[in-house]
Amino acid sequence: MSDLTLLILRIAFLVLLWAFVFAIVYALRSDLFGTRVRRLQEQPAFAAAPASVPVSTPPAVQSLPTGPPTPAGASPSRWRPRGPRAGSSSPRARRPA
């Protein structure tokens, strides 16, 4: 091969390596900092809601129970699952007696 061909191959290889470096930096940056949030275009003035209409506040939200459901009449602290695998998830079931 001629010297010119080798020089072009070296430069192309160097450009390819730099492309990989930039791709890795871009991927790390997006993983660490997230993607940029684009601003929405502002709405025209005629599309805005009229100012004379009062804005109502939403009703208060009641909190939902966070634990698993318990059967009727059972206290949550004493309720245990029944069935073929009952007790297999308890810490006592894993230890020998």
Q: pTM higher than 0.85, yes or no?
A: no
Task: Tell me the average pLDDT across 24-34.
Answer: 91
More confident residue, 35 or 88: 35
What average pLDDT does range 14-34 have in this prediction? 94
Side-chain-side CA neighbours of 52 within 13 Å: the count stands at 0
pLDDT of residue 50: 57
Confidence of residue 89 (pLDDT cuts 50, 70, 90): low
10: pLDDT strictly greater than 80: yes
Contact, 71 vs 79, CB < 8 A?
Answer: yes
How many Å apart are CA 29 and CA 23, to the nearest integer?
A: 10
